[in-house]
Amino acid sequence: GNPEQITLEAWRIIEGASEVYLRTERHPSVAALPKGVAYHSFDSFYERYDTFAEVYEQIAQAIVGLGERPQGVIYAVPGHPLVGETSVQRILALARERGIATRIIAGVSFLEPTITALGIDPLDGLQICDATILAQKHHPNLDPDVGALVAQVYNRHLASELKMTLMNLYHDEHPIKLVRAAGTHQQEVSELPLYALDRRDDLDHLSSVYIPPLARPGSLASFQDVVARLRAPGGCPWDRQQTHQSLRPHLLEETYEVLAALDADDMEKLKEELGDLLLQIMLHAQIASEDGDFKLIDSVEQIIAKLVRRHPHVFGEVIVENAEEVLRNWEQIKREERGDTSTSLLAGIPASLPALSQAAEMQRRAARVGFDWPAVQPVIDKVKEEFEELCQAGDARSRAMELGDLLFSLVNLARWYELDAESVLREANQRFARRFAAIERHAAETGIPLEKMTLAEMDALWEQAKENE
C-alpha cells in the first residue's frame, strides 16, 4: 500500500523499463511509480469477464503471449508476487509449459504492514487465507485456537458470505479486527463482533480481517493434545492403563447418555454428552496412534472420502428425486466398495445393534424393494394376529418365538407411524420410572411400605402420577 515500501530492486527494474504491465492501477503506489515508463493496466478485464478465474486466466494468457517476444515482458502486481496473486501462479504454470524463463522480484506483501498494524507475531501462530476462497466453504478449514488473517474482503456481499461461513465455527459475538489500507497514511484498525462484519460500508480491496484465537481452547487439535498428554508418561495413571477393550463399556455408556439427552430435548445436556462421547473417540484414536495402527487423521480422511463417494448426487453428476433413491444408491455403493457378491439387502447390518434397532433396519431395507404392506391397516392386523398366536402358544419355546414375532411386528408398526421403536420404548421406561418414583415418594411420606400397599392403592397412585405429568 505504501509506495515507500517498494524494494530498491523492483524500483530499478521498473525505472529502467520502457513499458510495464500492471494487474491494476487501483492502488495507492501506482501514482508514485517511476516516470517516463509506459504503464498498461488490466483493469478493463475485471469489467469484461464474469469471474475472477476468467480474469486471471486471460491476464495470464496475455502476459505469457507478451513474454514470448524477444524483449519479454514486465508484469507488476501489488505486494509480493507470490502472496495472494492468482494471476502470477497461472503465468508461472503457462510459462513452464511453453519453456519461457521467468524471474520473481520479491516485494513487501500485505502481510508485513498488516501484522505491524495488529501488533502480532506470526510465529506465535497465524493462519492466512483468501476471503474469496474461504467464503465458498460451508465450514471454515481453520483452527479456532490459532489466529487467522483473511485477506481481500473487498465488499459487503463477500463479507456477508464470509461471515456466514465463519459463524459455523465461531460464536456470533467473537471479536474480530478489520484492517484497512495497512501500511499507508489511511491505515485503520477497528474491532467489531463477527456478526457485524457485513455492516461496514468502507470495505475495499485493501481490507483484511483478523480473527483472534478463542479465549479458551476449543479446537479438536487442542482436545487431542490434552488426551495425548493424559496418556503420555507422567500423565494420568487411569488413562494410561486403558485399552480398546477396557474402554468399550464407557463408549456404550456415553452413547446412551447422548441418546438420553436427545430424548429429553435438552441441548445443554447434549452439548456436555457429545463432549464426553468425543473423549471416548479421542482415547481410542490415541491408543491406536500409540500402537502404530492408525491416526485420527486416517479415520477423518476415510470418512470424508466415503461421504463424497456415497453422495454422487452432491459431489458428482448423479441426479436423484427423493431420499429413497439416495438410500438405494448408498446401499449399492456400499456393496461395490466391499466387493460384496451377496445379493442380500440385509448383509452388513451390525449384529451388535440393539435388537429393536436391528429389526427396524431390516424392515427399512426390505421395504426399499417393495417387501412391505401397502397400507398401515394390514400392519395393525398383523400385530393382532401375532398377539393371538402368542396367547395360543402352549409351551415355553413356542411362546418365545411368538413373542419375538409380536415384537418384530410392533417394530414394523412403529416404522409405519414414523417412530423409532428403541426411542419410544426408552421413553416408556422413563415414564414408568417417574410414576413409580411418585409411588415410592408417597410411601415414604406416609410411612407405609410398598409391600403393605394393595395393588389397588398403588394403581390409584399410579393414575395420580400420570395425571400430574
pLDDT average per 10 residues of sequence, the chain (469 residues): 85 96 91 94 96 96 96 95 95 97 94 96 96 97 98 96 98 98 92 97 94 97 98 97 96 92 93 98 98 97 94 88 82 75 74 89 89 94 96 94 95 95 90 93 92 93 91
* One domain, residues 242 and 203: no
Domain boundary among 257, 290, 323: 290
Tally of domains within the chain: 4
- Give how far Cα 88 sits from Cα of 43, 85, 94, 382, 417, Å: 16, 6, 10, 71, 60
Q: Where does a domain end: 188, 211, 234?
A: 211
Q: What is residue 203's predicted lDDT score, i.e. its pLDDT?
A: 96
Q: Is 300 within a domain?
A: no
Does residue 443 lie in a domain region? yes
Same-domain status, 79 and 138 = no
Cell digits for 8?
Answer: 530498491
The per-residue pLDDT for 263 is: 85
Which pLDDT belongs to residue 343?
64
Residue that has been written with the C-alpha cell 397400507 in this structure: 375
Q: Is there a single domain that holds both residue 59 and residue 25?
A: yes
Residue 142: domain span: 113-211
Phi, psi of 240 (to 5 degrees): -70, -30
Assess whether 146 and 227 both reside in one domain. no
Residue 369: predicted pLDDT: 82
Q: Is residue 173 located within the same domain as residue 259?
A: no
> How far apart are alpha carbons 184 and 2 in whole angstroms?
5
- In a domain, residue 381? The reply is no
| pTM, to two decimals | 0.76
